[in-house]
Amino acid sequence: MLDFDRAAFIIASTATEEEMLQWYREHIVWTDKALTMKLIRKGILSRIYAPMVIMQSLRESGVFSSVIAKAAQTTTSKDKFLKSVESSNSTRNDRSEMISSRKIDAGGVSQTIARRILEVIDDSIPSAIPPLSPPSYDDADFHTS
């Protein structure tokens, strides 16, 4: 069993709720900025934060809102196209009744989801920290004896 797992088990089984919350903040949430910066400098967190930086800059530039608005317009034009195809098919063959997969979402569910995405409060999304350059030879601590 790892030390972390052992400590988590001991805290969960013996500590009060307040002590568990404090332990969680110290070990899981990483509120220690110095530790976070140290891990970023070593390149450990760069794979985690790099996508967040990209998404944050796309959100700030307004790309998401324009893409969602364009997708809503495209869906409307696709629905019109599918209706015309279905009407032409129904005149050819009255026996076949097809339900388009596009009709299933005709209730505006995708528009509702798009609105929810756009209404995300920026405060609830943590600000991404861009990765720093990797450590150089000068940063290494060499202990010779």
Which pLDDT score, from 0 to 100, does residue 93 have? 54
Whether the predicted pLDDT of 102 surpasses 70: no
d(CA 43, CA 47): 8
Which pLDDT score, from 0 to 100, does residue 144 have? 60
**The two structure tokens encoding residue 19:** 């002590």
Contact 68, 117 (CB under 8 A): yes
Residue 39 — very low, low, confident or very high, per pLDDT cuts 50/70/90?
confident
Q: What is the pLDDT of residues 78-100, one digit of tens each?
A: 677 777 777 776 665 554 444 44
Residue 75 — very low, low, confident or very high, per pLDDT cuts 50/70/90?
low
d(CA 81, CA 48): 42
Residue appearing with tokens 């930086």: 53
Which pLDDT score, from 0 to 100, does residue 96 have? 45
